[in-house]
Amino acid sequence: MKKYIIFFSTSAILLSLSVWILVKLYSFDSSISQIGLMMLEQKLMNIPNEVREVDIDEGDSFVMGDDSAPVTTIMFFDYECDYCKLFFATTFPQIEEKLINTGKLRFVFRHFPIEMHPQSYVAAQMAEQARQQGKFPEMHKQLMETYNLTEGALVVYAEQLGVDTDQWLSNPVSIEKIDTDKAVGVGVSVRGTPSFVTNGRMQAGMRDYEEFKQIAGITE
């Protein structure tokens, strides 16, 4: 019994040390290094592959893919979530090229701004402002590729993309959309981002392309 206790204590210490080293390494301002470290951290933390059946619709959301696609994934995301940014930097380009553009998958975007991320809600408001002007993909890409989500920076991004920002912080359509998405997520016990609902089956946590395909039950 004592051997087991020592083994588990040592494992816990090694895991804690590994995560501590990762946190320290994150201080270096290198997006490439950060992506690699986050992928390693994901494996070290061994996020459980829990699957739950949920019943939600797409809502009034931006959708990519054919209406006739056999698989639909609804993603709940947060613009300040490191793992959401990692997903859109590494996994989503392959999903778009190999699954969405080939008619195998519809991909639905739903907001889930988390309270501990102070800029995520206003970033979602700007994304919705852009969506109402037909420029959601461009704005979404910009917001996922940056960590500067202050109101001033968001206005600059909008100007660069030709998005009218008149009353964007008080736009009732945007506010209703974001609040509805968040309420739907809470209603099905979304616990964090990213979270995916694929044909009614929910799983949480960052996934690489092969893991995503397995979750979706798609073969190429």
Q: 123 with 28, same domain?
A: no
Q: 56 with 41, same domain?
A: no
Q: Model confidence over 8-44: pLDDT tens digits?
A: 445 555 444 444 444 444 433 444 445 444 554 544 4
Show the beta-strand stretches assigned E in the chain: 52-53, 62-64, 71-77, 105-111, 195-198, 201-204
Check pLDDT > 80 for residue 155: yes
The amino acid occupying position 172 is: P
Helix (H, G, I), strand (E, B) or coil at 202: strand
- Please give the Cα distance from 32 to 204 (Å, whole number): 24
Q: 150 with 41, same domain?
A: no
Cut 0.85: pTM above it: no
Mean pLDDT, the chain, integer: 83
DSSP state of 27: T
DSSP state of 69: -
DSSP state of 169: G
Q: 34 with 96, same domain?
A: no
Check pLDDT > 70 for residue 2: no
Check which CATH number belongs to the domain holding 122 and give it: 3.40.30.10
Instruction: Give residue 7's pLDDT.
Output: 39
Q: 142 with 103, same domain?
A: yes
Specify whether the CB–CB gap between 124 and 61 falls below 8 A. Answer: no
Q: 21 with 110, same domain?
A: no
Q: 92 with 121, same domain?
A: yes
Neighbours of 176 (CB within 10 A): 12
Q: 23 with 109, same domain?
A: no
* Count of positions (residues) in the chain: 220
Q: Which residue has the tokens 């080939």?
A: 102
Domain around 160:
52-216
Give 191's pLDDT tier (boundaries 50, 70, 90).
Answer: confident
- What residues does 62 pair with on adjacent strands? 109
> Which pair of tokens denotes residue 197?
């609902």
DSSP state of 57: -
Q: Model confidence over 111-121: pLDDT tens digits?
A: 999 999 999 99
Q: 41 with 56, same domain?
A: no
- Please give the Cα distance from 14 to 71 (Å, whole number): 40
Specify whether the CB–CB gap between 96 and 66 falls below 8 A. Answer: no
Give 49's pLDDT tier (boundaries 50, 70, 90).
Answer: low
Q: Model confidence over 81-96: pLDDT tens digits?
A: 999 999 999 999 999 9
Instruction: Give residue 50's pLDDT.
Output: 63
Q: 168 with 212, same domain?
A: yes
- What residues does 105 pair with on adjacent strands? 71
For residues 18, 81, 86, 29, the Cα torsion angle rounded to the nearest 10 degrees is -70
For the chain, give the longest Cα–Cα distance.
Answer: 67
Our count of domains for the chain comes to: 2
DSSP state of 150: -
Q: 74 with 143, same domain?
A: yes
Show the beta-strand stretches assigned E in 126-183: none
Q: 148 with 163, same domain?
A: yes
